[in-house]
């Protein structure tokens, strides 16, 4: 896949929400520039300069920029409402030359037709597609239901409060089931509490996975809003508008709260980047501890499993091909692979084109006596597994060498879904017990340093 | 916080008011019968000068029939006006090239005094509908049409151009076809403004009914059955009773049409208000309520829904949304094409002007042109005096009314009624007064012209005063602004834009009125004033075409000049400085 970013993303880690992998790009902007005539008629001024960006399938992207940085202009160009002065927009492989069919839009000031009822407003967006009346009505009613407006189908927009009007705006966009949903400051015309409510509902809908659009592009100048909702925040600079950089929001939705430390760090970091237009975004974000593998996920393998595999490999140097190993050991591939991954993680083996070979340490480990091999395992684990190192150092710093397990579980839950956090914890405990670093007592839910 | 407002419409709909259905059916049938009865006689043979229509009878019994005829003419003209408005306005708003021609043309057309052209259109239409009274009908309808249509078209064009960007973009994002955009966005958006202008136009049209039903060209009297001819006949016979009867009938008719047509339409059109919040007091109409409670309109609507759907699909299929012309300037053709286009336009303009001038000069000596220009100046003075006096008299009164909500609710309709009442029905009384007192028509014609024109100043000022936000008035009271200070700082800036609108309409109306106000008669006595209006009327009576053309062209020049040099500038000023 060709990357078109002029600026490398701040972090390269995949999102820690495995349920929503980043897919193929849907909308691609290439070197988009936009100039407007000066009002006095002599010359032009540049609003957007060399914008390159992509919106991928399954992504929630926020475009963050100050007022006047050209966000709305860029959105209009991507939506095919105005042409770029130079450059091009590709949507689903097609060059955009008119209203982009992949896009539905939610407007800042709602843009509802006041002379149509809620139902008619929603239906109109299907009517334009030529959907027959009966299906139109059914789909519209479903969309209205989805945004929580059932019972208001025959109300006119002027009879609704601001928040409800914007719900109609969402329903009208949802009913199209667009590939990408565009939102131009959809919450900024609402009062703070209403905005917060609606934002929460959108986040929830997105998180549940049955969102009526594959991707979302949100325009906002509200940093917190961007960090609350987006997977990726693109920061736009002003005069002329350009992509200054982007920040990946490596936080699960559950952890996106103002009280969360990393959330605050991200918001503060972006704030610094926004208030210092001349600074590099990456530089501005440098103060934010990198989430780049804070606790890289541990493969689901037990220490016993790992040493077992290494032993076999040591005894049969001819056995290298992974499928062959799988059949020899009568171990299904999906059980074998985590063990291999773990061996690689710990530096005992390397995998090359489907063949596994032991490293020097790996060979020593598997041929040494039990005490020595435990020592080697311990050294590798402390060096290469931050989670175990963290638990161990924390325990050694405690006067009684003891801590509640919940502390680490909570910490893990900031980065993993709940179930996975528990599994990670269990693996860490298993490896810790094997290496005699620490033990976990289920009866009082505590971790203790192992007694020599 | 979240305001839950449940629509009350359903509750209304469920009530089974059978009598409403009956009333609607009887009303509709009655209306159709009336139209058929009244319209039938339009096809009587007519072969001037041998076969002429029956002479007008001043018997009051005939008055309802004459009223019906006139009313029918008004509505037919209105229908044509609407058709014209939709096509012309749409073209001008959507094609930049058409706009360059259509807009200035519209500006000129609305300045042309319609009444000056009656004799020209007369020979054309009589030739067109040879042997039928339809020719005369067409003359009257055309005159009414030209009096109604321009401001409707302007309003529609202006609305189309000012559809909010968001609605335009929304329509494009959701890929509405051009037909859907027209029917769901443009027409509804333009509806309220168009409705008001149509109502005003209709009111203004009565003046032309009265002036165009009875025409005399070359001492030949042409009379259509109608209330205008009735009044003309009454004047000819100096019959005061008949005049009074006509005035009463006219008043009744205006009120009836207002109640049966305009009120319901205006009340209905409130839904097209482009506001996101509910207006405080919305116009109400008992006819509309009756129609809403009746099941009939809903049933008819439901029955027609598949047809609407079909038409919508059909037209949406052919009128796809416009695509973006990517990477190209808005006009795709090279510059020279536009140059050529402009060149052709200018050539056509010069050619037309030359032909006209040669035609005029074939009969009229050059010196007379200067003389006519002088006559124009005299009429201009009348128009200025009239506008100034109307302003001085009606502005304070209008402001007082506008600041008092109860009073304005009461008197605003009265002002509108007076504006739509055809002033030429009242001319005989002023004429009698002038004859009795011996005052010259040179002065008296100002009064005659003011009779119709002044009301536009009044009701626009009322509307302007109403539109001054109450918090500004409270601020002024709080700062103890009084007297001249109050007028200078708050009232004049506040009502200025509305006054400009009223002023333009009043002065335009006055120019038109000068054609009938500078020569008046009562019985055998005829009074003449010196002025451009009298010049045109005389030329018309003599069937003197070169002089008609000269007079009308001169008057158009004056109107356009006055608009450009004076009213436009005031308007721009009010937009910049005083827009609230
Ligand atoms: N049609 C236009 N003609 C001329 N200038 C324009 C046009 N549209 C936008 N601009 C200018 O382009 C610049 C960027 O406008 P844009 O609306 O895209 O900014 P924005 O980032 O969305 O700002 P905001 O946060 O205020 O909505 C502004 O300086 C604006 O004046
Ligand atoms: Mg914007």
Chain A residues whose CB is inside 8 A of the B1 CB are 161, 191, 193-194
- pLDDT tens digits, A55-78: 998 899 999 998 889 999 999 999
For atom 22 of ligand 1, which residue has the closest CA? A72
Helix axes B18-40 and B63-94, enclosed angle (nearest 10): 100
Give the position, in ligand 1's atom list, of the atom nearest the Cα of A82: 1
For atom 1 of ligand 1, which residue has the closest CA? A36
- Given a cut of 50, whether residue B444 has pLDDT beyond it is yes
Does the Cβ of A76 fall within 6 Å of ligand 1? no
- The residue in chain A having the minimum alpha-carbon distance to the alpha carbon of residue B271 is A115
Tell me the domains of chain B and their CATH numbers.
38-273+340-577 (1.10.3720.10), 284-320 (no CATH)
* Residue keyed to tokens 């139902």: A119
**What is the biggest distance separating any 2 CA atoms in chain A, rounded to whole angstroms?**
86
Give the rounded percent of residues in chain A with a pLDDT score beyond 70.
93
Cβ neighbourhood burial of A198 (10 Å; 0-12, 13-18, 19+): buried
Sheet holding A180-184, edge to edge: A103-106, A180-184, A215-220, A60-65, A232-237, A242-248
Across the interface, do A104 and B173 touch by the CB < 8 Å criterion? yes
Q: Are the CB atoms for A313 and A349 separated by under 8 Å?
A: yes
Q: For residue A195, what are the CA distances in angstroms to A108, B458, B544?
A: 12, 47, 74
- Given a cut of 70, whether residue B233 has pLDDT beyond it is yes
Strand A60-65 vs strand A232-237: parallel, antiparallel, or unpaired?
parallel
Quote the CA–CA distance of B249 and B256 in Å, as a whole number: 10
- pLDDT tens digits, A353-387: 878 889 999 999 988 888 898 899 999 999 889 89
> Is B123 within 8 Å of chain A by CB?
no
Sign of CA dihedral B413, B419, B425, B431: positive
* Residue keyed to tokens 């319209």: B39
Average per-residue pLDDT in chain B? 82
Across the interface, do A104 and B180 touch by the CB < 8 Å criterion? no
- Given a cut of 90, whether residue B278 has pLDDT beyond it is no
Out of A174-178, A253-257, B351-355, least confident range: A253-257
Strand A60-65 vs strand A44-56: parallel, antiparallel, or unpaired?
unpaired
Q: Cα(A72) to centroid of ligand 1, in Å? A: 7
Q: For residue A377, what are the CA distances in angstroms to A335, B386, B481?
A: 21, 107, 91
Chain B residues whose CB is inside 8 A of the A115 CB are 188, 191, 271-272
β-strand partners of B462 = none
- Given a cut of 70, whether residue B194 has pLDDT beyond it is yes
pLDDT at B209: 87
Select the residue of A84, A109, A157 nearest B166 (Cβ to Cβ). Answer: A109
Q: Which A positions 81-110 lie with beta carbon below 8 A of chain B? A: 81-84, 86, 95-99, 101, 103-105, 107, 109-110
pLDDT at B376: 94
For atom 26 of ligand 1, which residue has the closest CA? A67
Q: Which B positions 263-282 lie with beta carbon below 8 A of chain A? A: 271-278
Across the interface, do B324 and A80 touch by the CB < 8 Å criterion? yes
B493 HSE (CA, 13 A, CB side):
14
Report residue A146 as tokens: 């989805």
Quote the CA–CA distance of B324 and A76 in Å, as a whole number: 12
Distance from CA of B469 to the nearest CA of A (A): 21
Between B558 and B467, the more confident residue is: B558
pLDDT at A6: 31
Out of A248-262, B516-530, B541-555, least confident range: A248-262
β-strand partners of A351 = A356
Give the rounded percent of residues in chain B with a pLDDT score beyond 90.
19
Across the interface, do B169 and A81 touch by the CB < 8 Å criterion? yes
> How far is residue A80 CA from its own chain's centroid?
27
B277 band by pLDDT with thresholds 50, 70 and 90: low
pLDDT at A229: 93
> Is B178 within 8 Å of chain A by CB?
no
Phi-psi region of B312 (alpha: psi -120 to 50; beta: other; left: phi over 0): alpha
> Is B15 within 8 Å of chain A by CB?
no
- Given a cut of 80, whether residue B437 has pLDDT beyond it is yes
Chain B residues whose CB is inside 8 A of the A77 CB are none
A289 band by pLDDT with thresholds 50, 70 and 90: low
DSSP assigned state of B262: I
Mean pLDDT of B153-167: 88
H or E segment at B338?
A: helix B335-361
Q: Are the CB atoms for A341 and A349 separated by under 8 Å?
A: no
Give the position, in ligand 1's atom list, of the atom nearest the Cα of A74: 18
pLDDT at A49: 92
Does the Cβ of A85 fall within 6 Å of ligand 1? no
Of B562, B554, B556, nearest to B506 by C-alpha is B562
pLDDT at B483: 81
Phi-psi region of B4 (alpha: psi -120 to 50; beta: other; left: phi over 0): beta
Quote the CA–CA distance of B372 and B531 in Å, as a whole number: 8
Cβ partners under 8 Å of residue A203, min gap 6: A228, A229, A253, A256
B53 band by pLDDT with thresholds 50, 70 and 90: low
For atom 30 of ligand 1, which residue has the closest CA? A68
Probe ligand 1: pick from A35, A36, A109, max atoms within 8 Å of CB? A36
DSSP string, A170-236: HHHHHTT--SEEEEESTTTTS-HHHHHHHHHHHHHHHHHT--SSSEEEEEES-HHHHHHH-SEEEEE
Q: For residue A245, what are the CA distances in angstroms to A10, A52, A233, A280, A282?
A: 8, 11, 9, 8, 7
Q: Are the CB atoms for B496 and B465 separated by under 8 Å?
A: no
Probe ligand 1: pick from A40, A43, A47, A83, max atoms within 8 Å of CB? A47
Asked whether this complex has an ipTM greater than 0.90, the answer is no
Quote the CA–CA distance of A123 and A113 in Å, as a whole number: 12
For chain A, the domains span 25-102+178-284, 303-449
Of A419, A414, A418, A412, nearest to A390 by C-alpha is A412
Q: Are the CB atoms for B422 and B210 separated by under 8 Å?
A: yes
pLDDT at A348: 93
Cβ neighbourhood burial of A154 (10 Å; 0-12, 13-18, 19+): middle
- The residue in chain A having the minimum alpha-carbon distance to the alpha carbon of residue B191 is A115
> Is B331 within 8 Å of chain A by CB?
no
Instruction: Provide the 3-class DSSP secondary structure of residue B269.
Output: helix
pLDDT at B51: 60
Does the Cβ of A36 fall within 6 Å of ligand 1? yes
Q: For residue B91, what are the CA distances in angstroms to A127, B87, B102, B194, B315?
A: 25, 6, 8, 16, 17
Quote the CA–CA distance of A12 and A246 in Å, as a whole number: 11
B145 band by pLDDT with thresholds 50, 70 and 90: very high
Out of A241-255, A437-451, B33-47, B343-357, least confident range: B33-47
Alpha helix ranges (H) inside B174-295 = 178-180, 187-212, 227-236, 240-257, 263-269, 286-293
The CATH code for residues A25-102+178-284 is 3.40.50.300
Across the interface, do B313 and A130 touch by the CB < 8 Å criterion? yes
- pLDDT tens digits, B403-415: 888 888 888 788 8
Across the interface, do A105 and B169 touch by the CB < 8 Å criterion? yes
pLDDT at B304: 81
Of A439, A353, A332, A340, nearest to A388 by C-alpha is A439
Q: How many CB atoms lie within 10 A of CB B130?
A: 10
Distance from CA of B338 to the nearest CA of A (A): 19
> Is B436 within 8 Å of chain A by CB?
no
DSSP string, B153-199: HHHHHHHHHTS-HHHHHHHHHTT--HHHIIIIIIHHHHHHHHHHHHH
* Residue keyed to tokens 């596994």: A356
pLDDT at A210: 80
- Given a cut of 90, whether residue A181 has pLDDT beyond it is yes
- pLDDT tens digits, B208-219: 888 888 877 666
Does the Cβ of A11 fall within 6 Å of ligand 1? no
Mean pLDDT of B288-316: 80
Quote the CA–CA distance of B450 and B281 in Å, as a whole number: 33
pLDDT at A118: 94
DSSP assigned state of B259: I
Select the residue of B173, B276, B328 nearest A158 (Cβ to Cβ). Answer: B276
Average per-residue pLDDT in chain A? 86
H or E segment at A433?
A: helix A418-434
State the pTM of this model: 0.75
Cβ neighbourhood burial of A286 (10 Å; 0-12, 13-18, 19+): middle
Sign of CA dihedral A308, A310, A313, A315: negative
Q: Are the CB atoms for B455 and B524 separated by under 8 Å?
A: no
Q: For residue A67, what are the CA distances in angstroms to A186, A235, B243?
A: 15, 12, 68
Mean pLDDT of A174-188: 93
Burial B381-412 (b: 16+ CB within 10 A, else e): ebbeebbeebbeebbeebbebbbeeeebeebb
Q: Are the CB atoms for B120 and B217 separated by under 8 Å?
A: no
How much is the CA Rg of chain A, to the nearest whole Å? 27
pLDDT at B454: 87
Chain A residues whose CB is inside 8 A of the B321 CB are 98-99
- Given a cut of 60, whether residue B325 has pLDDT beyond it is no
- pLDDT tens digits, A36-50: 888 777 788 899 999
Does the Cβ of A117 fall within 6 Å of ligand 1? no
Chain A residues whose CB is inside 8 A of the B5 CB are 155, 159-160
Quote the CA–CA distance of B561 and B233 in Å, as a whole number: 37
């Amino acid at each position: 896949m060709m990357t078109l970013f002029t600026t490398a993303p701040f972090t390269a880690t995949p999102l820690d929400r495995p349920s929503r992998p980043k897919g193929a790009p849907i909308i691609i902007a290439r070197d988009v520039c936009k100039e407007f005539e000066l009002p006095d008629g002599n010359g032009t001024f540049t609003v957007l300069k060399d914008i390159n960006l992509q919106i991928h399938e399954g992504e929630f992207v926020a475009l963050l920029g100050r007022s006047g940085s050209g966000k709305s202009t860029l959105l209009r160009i991507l939506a095919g409402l105005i042409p770029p002065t130079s450059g091009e927009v590709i949507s689903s492989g097609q060059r955009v030359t008119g209203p982009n069919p992949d896009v539905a839009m939610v407007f800042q000031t709602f843009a509802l037709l006041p002379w149509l009822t809620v139902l008619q407003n929603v239906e109109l967006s299907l009517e334009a597609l030529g959907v027959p009346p009966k299906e139109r009505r059914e789909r519209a009613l479903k969309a209205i239901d989805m945004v929580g407006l059932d019972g208001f189908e025959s109300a006119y927009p002027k009879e609704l409060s601001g928040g409800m009007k914007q719900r109609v705006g969402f329903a009208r966009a949802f009913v199209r089931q667009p590939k990408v949903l565009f939102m131009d400051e959809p919450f900024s015309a609402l009062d703070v509490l209403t905005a917060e409510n609606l934002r929460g509902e959108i986040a929830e809908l997105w998180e549940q996975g049955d969102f009526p659009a594959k991707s979302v592009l949100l325009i906002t100048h509200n940093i917190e809003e961007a960090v609350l909702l987006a997977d990726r925040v693109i920061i736009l600079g002003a005069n002329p508008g350009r992509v200054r950089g982007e920040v990946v929001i490596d936080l699960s939705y559950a952890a996106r709260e103002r009280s969360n430390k990393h959330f605050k760090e991200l918001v503060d970091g972006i704030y610094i980047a926004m208030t210092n237009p001349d600074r590099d975004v990456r530089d501005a974000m440098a103060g934010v501890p990198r989430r780049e593998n804070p606790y890289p996920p541990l493969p689901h393998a037990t220490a016993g499993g790992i040493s077992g595999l290494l032993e076999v490999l040591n005894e049969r140097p001819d056995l290298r091909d992974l499928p062959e190993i799988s059949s020899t050991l009568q171990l299904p591939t999906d059980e074998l692979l985590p063990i291999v991954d773990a061996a690689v993680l710990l530096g005992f083996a390397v995998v090359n084109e489907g063949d596994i070979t032991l490293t020097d340490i790996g060979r020593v480990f598997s041929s040494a006596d039990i005490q020595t091999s435990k020592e080697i395992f311990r050294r590798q684990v402390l060096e290469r597994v931050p989670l175990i190192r963290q638990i161990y150092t924390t325990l050694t710093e405690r006067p009684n060498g003891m801590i509640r397990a919940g502390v680490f579980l909570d910490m893990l839950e900031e980065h993993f879904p709940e179930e996975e956090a528990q599994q990670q914890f269990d693996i860490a405990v298993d490896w810790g017990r094997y290496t005699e670093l620490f033990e976990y007592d289920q009866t009082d839910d505590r971790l203790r340093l192992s007694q020599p | 916080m979240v305001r839950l407002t449940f629509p009350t419409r359903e509750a209304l709909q469920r009530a089974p008011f059978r009598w409403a259905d009956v009333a609607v059916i009887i009303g509709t049938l009655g209306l159709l019968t009336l139209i058929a009865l009244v319209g039938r006689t339009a096809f009587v043979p007519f072969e001037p000068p041998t076969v002429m229509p029956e002479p007008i009878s001043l018997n009051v019994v005939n008055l309802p029939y004459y009223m019906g005829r006139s009313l029918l003419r008004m509505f037919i003209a209105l229908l044509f006006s609407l058709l014209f408005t939709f096509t012309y306005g749409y073209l001008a708003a959507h094609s930049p090239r058409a706009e360059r021609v259509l807009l200035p043309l519209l500006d000129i057309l609305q300045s042309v005094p319609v009444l000056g052209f009656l004799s020209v259109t007369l020979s054309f239409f009589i030739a067109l509908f040879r042997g039928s009274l339809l020719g005369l009908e067409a003359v009257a309808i055309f005159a009414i049409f030209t009096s109604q249509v321009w401001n409707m078209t302007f309003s529609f064009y202006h609305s189309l151009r000012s559809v909010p960007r968001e609605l335009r973009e929304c329509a494009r994002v959701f890929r509405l076809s051009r037909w859907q955009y027209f029917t769901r966005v443009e027409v509804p958006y333009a509806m309220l403004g168009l409705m008001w202008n149509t109502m005003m136009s209709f009111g203004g049209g009565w003046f032309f009914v009265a002036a165009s039903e009875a025409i005399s060209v070359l001492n030949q009297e042409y009379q259509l059955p109608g209330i205008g001819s009735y009044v003309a006949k009454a004047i000819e016979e100096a019959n005061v009773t008949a005049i009074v009867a006509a005035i009463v009938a006219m008043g009744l008719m205006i009120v009836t049409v207002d109640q049966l047509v305009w009120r319901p339409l205006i009340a209905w059109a409130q839904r097209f208000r482009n506001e996101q919040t509910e207006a405080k007091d919305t116009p109400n109409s008992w006819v509309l309520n009756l129609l809403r409670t009746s099941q009939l309109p809903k049933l008819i609507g439901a029955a027609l829904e598949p047809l609407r759907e079909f038409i919508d699909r059909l037209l949406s299929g052919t009128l796809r949304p416009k695509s973006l012309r990517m990477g190209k300037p808005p006009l795709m053709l090279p510059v020279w094409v536009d140059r050529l286009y402009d060149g052709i336009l200018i050539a056509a303009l010069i050619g037309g002007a030359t032909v006209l001038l040669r035609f005029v000069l074939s009969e009229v000596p050059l010196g007379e042109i200067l003389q006519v220009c002088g006559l124009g100046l005299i009429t201009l003075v009348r128009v200025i005096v009239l506008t100034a006096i109307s302003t001085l008299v009606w502005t304070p009164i209008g402001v007082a009314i506008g600041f008092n909500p109860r009073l304005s609710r009461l008197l605003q309709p009265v002002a509108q009624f007076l504006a739509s009442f055809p002033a030429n029905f009242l001319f005989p009384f002023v004429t009698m007064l002038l004859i009795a007192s011996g005052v010259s028509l040179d002065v008296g014609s100002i009064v005659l012209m003011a009779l119709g024109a002044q009301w536009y100043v009044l009701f626009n000022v009322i509307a302007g005063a109403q539109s001054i936000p109450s918090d500004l008035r409270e601020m002024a009271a709080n700062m103890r602004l009084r007297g001249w200070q109050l007028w200078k700082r708050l009232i004049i800036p506040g009502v200025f834009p509305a006054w400009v609108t009223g002023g333009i309409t009043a002065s335009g109306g006055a120019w038109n009125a000068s054609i009938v106000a500078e020569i008046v008669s009562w019985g055998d006595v005829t009074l003449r004033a010196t002025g451009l209006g009298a010049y045109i009327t005389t030329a018309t009576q003599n069937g003197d075409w070169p002089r008609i053309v000269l007079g009308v062209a001169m008057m158009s020049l004056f109107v356009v000049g006055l608009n450009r040099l004076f009213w436009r500038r005031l308007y721009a000023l009010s937009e910049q400085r005083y827009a609230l």
